[in-house]
Structure 1
Amino acid sequence: MERKSFSHVEEAVQFLQSKLPAAPEIGLILGSGLGVLGDQVENAVALDYGAIPNFPVSTVEGHAGKLIYGELQGKRVIVMQGRFHLYEGYEGDAVTFPVRVMRALGVNTLIVTNAAGGVNFDYKPGDLMLIRDHINFMFRNPLIGPNDNKLGARFPDMSEGYSKRLRELAKGVASEQGLPLQEGVYCGVLGPSYETPAEIRMIRTLGGDAVGMSTVPEVIAARHAGIEVLGISCISNAAAGILDQPLSHDEVMETAERVKETFLTLVRGIVEKL
């Protein structure tokens, strides 16, 4: 499979610039069951991923597969209503391709969201967690291979992968809304099988608070490109071994549906203050 290059990014950008009235300011990547935020974008221009040159296509339930441009809380946004995952068979450069395109369009701030299993015993399904940091247990990095300096430095700094400034802003918004907000470490795993109870005990021992199968590659690519990142996890279920019950994607979707109004209110409040 051909590796996505800067020329592929340019092709997608030229196509999108012909469709969009102005450059976006803020990018949003919406995880499983959280794509409803894309429906609230005003003056929207919606494009199927398959219509955009070089874009991959979403294959997972709960990921609509649309790129939406428009206004949210008075800000110009570009929204991924569904994302790509390594477990779908895509390479890291394909999973992160939309982040490259967003940056080339003018995005400087990215909000990434996901549905995640709660590893921390204090978390319960329906909680929202600000991502303070991540652990890459995917054991893959989207920057492997030749580096294009037009996209970013060979060795990007990840000491502040998730912006402290944006986390403080988000906590202020949550406080104004009376919304309890967790803050913790997201552990990214490859999937698609759910983790074993032993793996969850390991993740907890190593400092993980939540676990999921996305986000890490996109954040690495965003920081490589100089984009400031805010991450929010919806705790969709207790991770394996915490409760004596099997895990399912249906539970993930049900929890996302239950907390969608809280999620929408928080993200809209954050966007308004950016």
Structure 2
Amino acid sequence: MSNNTMVTEYISQKALMYEPTEEEIKFHHKNQHKSLRYIFCGKELDEFEKEKIQELKDHVNNLKKKEKDSQGGETYESTFKDTIFEDDNYVLRFLQGNEFNFEKCYYDMLKHLEWRDENLPVKYEDVEDMLKKGYIYVHGRDKHMHPIIIINCKNFISASAKDVLKVAYYWMEFIISKLFIEGKIEQWRVIIDLSHCGVLNIPIGTLKDISKCLSCNYRSRLSKMLVLSAPLFVTGMWHMLKSIIPVVTQQKITISSSEIDKRLLEQVDLDQLESNLKEAHLENGMNVYLSDASREGLKS
């Protein structure tokens, strides 16, 4: 993640000057010392977080001792040397995402490193044609300066899930390197647009793959997710699934049968929305398509 500290073609003065509130940095559970962090980079971790990171390291070192004869005496430090997990604040993303279960977190970290080796970086020339098809793109920012990712399902009904995922990885890495500001803006908002998708041709499998990718490899990056133009059965499925989804995750997701949701307009300025979303709210002939970030991203 780049430390963007000046106005660029991707970072406006408004974004650069934005200061997150304490609640945007970290949510504190009532009557508990445990917290839920949203902003990680360059932040001093609290005692609970430091304690859990050390407990994870101790857990891994104990596992390594048991494997010593076959693995040559590896340690936590040697396992994650020269990787993204040398940064304890990044490790915390995975600890928090695994609800501080050390065993799950450790294996999740190993899988993440494998995933990075297999999928990153995504080169522009490898996705150039797919980017132009508009499967997924970036358009504007919300009122908290989170970049907005648009997942336009009608454009990949018949596309390969592998291709769509490659585009997703490209944009997510683009956002992290070009649109985020360390210590201030580290999350994105996702809008899933199901308009013009019939009940029988919603690309459920690809959406599941994208969701898994977001939750497993981009820990603590999702601020909010809004599903627009959802058929009745999608809304029904969501109400059934809510009972088994953590409350914190539930609060991030909104399912709407409308083309525009008034809650979105409370969180995103109108000039940051695509023309089709604006026109669902106002018939004003405004004509804004891909944001500058998305257009320029096609050349990056």
TM over 0.5: no
Normalising by structure 2, we get a TM-score of 0.27
Larger fraction in helix: 2
Larger fraction in strand: 1
Pair member with larger Rg? 2
- Higher RCO (CA-CA < 8 Å; seq separation 6+): 1
